Amino acid sequence: MDNIKNQSRFLVDLPCAFGATLGTPRNGTITSIGLKGCFVKTKAMVTPEQAIFVRVWTTDERWLRLSGKVKYHMEKIGFSLTFSELAEDDINNLTELIEGLRRQNQIAPPTYAGEEAKA
């Protein structure tokens, strides 16, 4: 768990639903995730500071519901979401999701410019 806290984001390919309401009518793919936020790949339009709800199917086959505000939007690419006011249970569930994906080798640490991916 300490490794997760020390690393800001992990690369993933995680289907999600999102929207301005709890009904989360749009679909997208989370391409990076951490305890403070995620990036959602989608062509849908959002605006900076917009409140967004995200729903993710976890590795233990249940819905994880998160919410936050749009940090920035890249047209026809996606948006960065900063999680806000997550309850302790949500943080624990998010940590379990990231750990579960790491155990299944479906997640990789981010690489930085000039650094090759580590095997």
pLDDT of residue 40: 98
pLDDT at residue 34, as a whole number: 92
Residue 5 pLDDT: 53
As a CATH number, domain 2-101 is 2.40.10.220
Give the total residue count for the chain: 119
pLDDT digits (tens, 9 = 90+) for 32-54: 999 999 999 999 999 999 999 99
- Residues in the chain predicted with pLDDT less than 50, given as ranges, are 1, 115, 117-119
**Is this structure's pTM higher than 0.85?**
no
What pLDDT does residue 117 have?
Answer: 46
What are residue 40's phi and psi, to 5 degrees?
Answer: -110, 120
* DSSP assignments along 49-80, one per residue: T-EEEEEEE-TTSSEEEEEEEEEEEETTTEEE
The full set of domain ranges for the chain reads: 2-101
